[in-house]
Amino acid sequence: MAQPHSTPTYPSLSRREREILDIIHRLGTPTLSDIIAEMSDPPVRAAVRTLMNIMERKGHVSHGKAGREFVYQATQSRAVEGGSSLRRLLSTFFKGSLTDAIACHFSEAPEELKEGELDEIAELVDRLRTQAPPNPPRRS
């Protein structure tokens, strides 16, 4: 399989390509049949195969062979793609503000926090405060 690229390329994906890449990240190394089974309202198999070829040419996925079938793999790690997706989400919906995004999540779904997650978040913030130089006050 191809080596991962060094820069995130996620933003250049169409809606369908993004859906496919999300499925690949979730499943690991799925076959075309696995991908189609996970898609919402999937197009015909030939169309998905064409999308896979386009995504491979763009450098988003690579493929190998497992038995008689091709298996697909993302060329970027989940962490790299997740960071890219998070930056896009923050930029699109929260004007780049992580604080606003977290406040929104906590206000809309506080029951989704697992036991101990607030403590883990507080510990992370404390660690970041001791590692990073103080930031100047934010101006609105």
Digit-coded pLDDT (tens) for 28-59: 999 999 999 999 999 999 999 999 999 999 99
Rg over CA atoms, the chain = 19
- The per-residue pLDDT for 111 is 75
Digit-coded pLDDT (tens) for 78-112: 888 778 778 888 999 999 999 998 888 888 777 77
More confident residue, 136 or 8: 136
pLDDT at 6 over 50: no
- The per-residue pLDDT for 138 is 62
- The per-residue pLDDT for 32 is 96
- Does the reported pTM lie above 0.75? no
Q: CATH 1.10.3720.10: does it fit domain 10-78?
A: no
Phi, psi of 71 (to 5 degrees): -120, 145
Q: Where in the chain is the domain with CATH 1.10.10.10?
A: 10-78
Weakest mean pLDDT among 13-22, 63-72, 92-101, 131-140: 131-140
Q: Reduced to 3 states, what is the DSSP secondary structure of residue 56?
A: helix
Q: What is the DSSP letter of 88?
A: H
Q: Which helix (H) or strand (E) element contains residue 71?
A: strand 69-74
Give the sign of the dihedral formed by CA 47, CA 53, CA 58, CA 63: positive
